Structure formats: structure tokens, C-alpha cells
Amino acid sequence: MATSGDPPSASMVLVPAGSEVADVNQLTREKYVKDDKIGEGTYAIVYRAHVRATGQPVAIKKIKISSQSEGISMDSLREIKHLQELRHQNIVNLLDVFVGKSHNIHAVLEFLAGDLEGIIKDTSCVYGSGDIKSWMAMSLRGLWWCHRNFVLHRDIKPNNLLYTMSGILKIADFGLARSFADPHANMTHQVVTRWYRPPELFYGAKHYGAAIDIFSMGAVFAELVLRAPYLPGSTDLAQLEVIVTALGQPSEQNWPGVTKLPQYCVTNDAMPPEVDLQGMKRQFQSMSMSGLQLLHGMLRLDPRKRVTARDALESEWFREEPMPTKPHDLPGKKGKEEQEKVGQDLKRRAGYDDVLNGDELIADRGKNVARRLDFGGM
């Protein structure tokens, strides 16, 4: 577990000017050898690489300069800034930053083997509740560290939860992250990939906190159990209808003040009440009561009623049998195909999917997802 006193692990050299700075940048650049390209997109190229002295595998993300006038995107700079500040075993480790010969910024990241999206969709992969507990515990520990350091991730989803060759899960892609130390600062509601976006953002909330990441992680939790996306909407309005159908219609009764949000609307005239534990049990029949209590606490409509990451980690669910699987025993392929998938993920502009925040790409996801799930007799 990292502490606030941990030394920084990344050297940030953004201006290759002056002999001293240029020398440091050159030394940093020469530490690594690029092996092969594993992903290329509009905003970045990702290479499989290694440390010259030790052979340790790493990934190098070459961030493209969009034009002479625009330079590096703010999303990319934001991602580098937060990864330098957040040092934790369950957050992807930024090892170095250097400027290449063509003045592109190169971010050197620890080598990652795959992501949770790949595991969920892999029809040959059988996993159980102990595995889900392990993934959720590691995800929540990383999220707890973000929130403890006043950082909102704002794009939690399965393909931003990556794992190492030894099975350690890491939160990645901090392109939409921002600090929330000032509770009165206005923030954009146009964040978080649609299927994992909490209702307050659809209603145009300008002030929000860590609860938005908790809702997203709850949606990931549900997806791991169902092996299918839990709240898949094709448009923003359809997404709200999906949320209301699964969790209930937000109202003054279950969420005081919600009708004052600028884009509040009623999507179901029947005004179904907020789902309770029995309603959750009907949706997740295989889960124990403590697991349902945790999931329900993460997916409350009113963000003020959602559990915190720390509360979630103290859930009884993590202490009942079967216990969380040891990371090195977790399922998940760690071969070249999965590494290339990670390369494809990393090439994206930070905080975005390849096309319009994933609207087109994710519309058909879920039709052919794997549904094999072994709960070990639970």
C-alpha cells in the first residue's frame, strides 16, 4: 500500500530545452528500447518495449501532437499529471515521461496483460464469486486511494480496469480525471461512458463528488456477476429509461432535491419506487445477502446515500466464503492477443472510446457476451 510519503516514480521532462534538461531527457529516453507497435490511433501510438538494462517489459505510449497550434491534448496532460501524483499498487504505474526526437511526449507505463472487459466477454473463461471479490477489492482499493487524494476518475468501466501478468488489477485511463478539493467548483456533467454514468450526470449536475465513481464501479460489479452489461442504453434518454427500469424513478421521495437539477425529467409516468434488496435479489439471484447489500449501496439513486469506497471495502461480503482469490490464481489470459487488446485500449485519446465516447462501438456489445459463471455453490 502506498503512503503519502512515497517518493515519486516518474520523471517529467516536458521541455527539451537547455543543456541540463536535454541531458536528463536523453538519458531517460535511452533507458528504453521499443520492440513492436501494438496499437495506433488518432491520438497515440502504443509500443511494446523493455528496459535496456534489465529487460523488464514496459509499454510506451507516444502521444501525438495534433497540430503546431493545438499541441498536446489537455486530456493527455491531465492523465500524466494525475498518474504522477497517484502512487498505489492498484493504479497503473507511470514509470517515466520523456520527449522524443519529433517532440512527441512519450509516457512509459508498466506492462499490463489484459482488462476485465476481455475476461467478461471470453466465453472460455470460467470465474466464480471469489474471483469477483478479488477484482472488486483491488478496484475499490485503487478508487479509495484516488478519492483519498481528492481525485475523481470519471470514467470507470471494465476496459479501464487492467491487470498485470501476476494478476494485480490496476485502474487506468485518467484522461477525464480531475481534482475535487473545492466542493463549490462547477464541473461538467459530460463525463463517464454512458453505460456506467450515474443519473445525476444525466440530469446536468454541476456539483458532484466521489459517488459518481462508486455508481460506475457498481455497474461494473453487476456486469461481472451477470456477464453482460447491466445498464446498456443506446441514447442518453434510453439510458435513463434503463436506469429507471432497473433501479427506480428518481423523485423527491427517494432523492430530496433531485427535481431542482437543471435537466431533471420523468422517464416513467408510473414512477416506480427505488429498488430495494428484494428487488435486487430478483435481478441477481445467485448473490448472497451481503453481496446484494454492497451492490445496492453502490447503486443508490441519491448519490448522498451511496457507500464510499472505504465503506465498500469493509463489507461483510469480502469476509464470507468463498474468500477473495489470490491475484496470481485469478483467471485471465496473458498472451499476445490480450496484450494487443491493451495496446488498442491505450491508443485511445485519454478518457474517450474510439468513436463518440463509444456510442457506436458499444451499441451491439452484449449480444454475444459470455454467460458462463461458476459461483462455487454459492
- For the ranges 224-238, 303-317, 344-358, 362-376, the lowest mean pLDDT is seen at 362-376
Instruction: Give the mean model confidence (pLDDT) for residues 15-34.
Output: 78
Question: pLDDT tens digits for 180-203?
Answer: 877 778 999 999 999 999 999 999
Q: Which amino acid is at 125?
A: C
Question: pLDDT tens digits for 109-152?
Answer: 998 989 999 999 998 999 999 999 999 999 999 999 999 999 99
Residue among 96, 122, 131, 155 flagged as catalytic: 155
How far is the C-alpha of 95 from the C-alpha of 87, rounded, in Å?
11
How far is the C-alpha of 1 from the C-alpha of 25, rounded, in Å?
30
Q: Is pLDDT at 237 greater than 60 in this prediction?
A: yes
> 3-class DSSP state for residue 299?
coil
φ/ψ region of 239 (left if φ > 0, alpha if ψ in -120 to 50, else beta) reads alpha
- For the ranges 63-67, 97-101, 230-234, 235-239, the lowest mean pLDDT is seen at 63-67
Residues comprising the chain, all counted: 378
Are the C-beta atoms of residues 8 and 309 closer than 8 Å to each other?
Answer: no
Q: Which amino acid is at 102?
A: S
Task: Set out the domains of the chain in order of their start, with CATH numbers.
Answer: 19-110 (3.30.200.20), 114-362 (1.10.510.10)
Q: Is pLDDT at 348 greater than 70 in this prediction?
A: no
The yes-or-no answer on residue 155 being catalytic is yes
How far is the C-alpha of 223 from the C-alpha of 216, rounded, in Å?
11
How far is the C-alpha of 44 from the C-alpha of 30, rounded, in Å?
20
Q: Is pLDDT at 244 greater than 80 in this prediction?
A: yes
Whether the ω angle into residue 322 lies within 30 degrees of 0, i.e. cis, is yes
> 3-class DSSP state for residue 63?
strand
This prediction has a pTM of 0.82
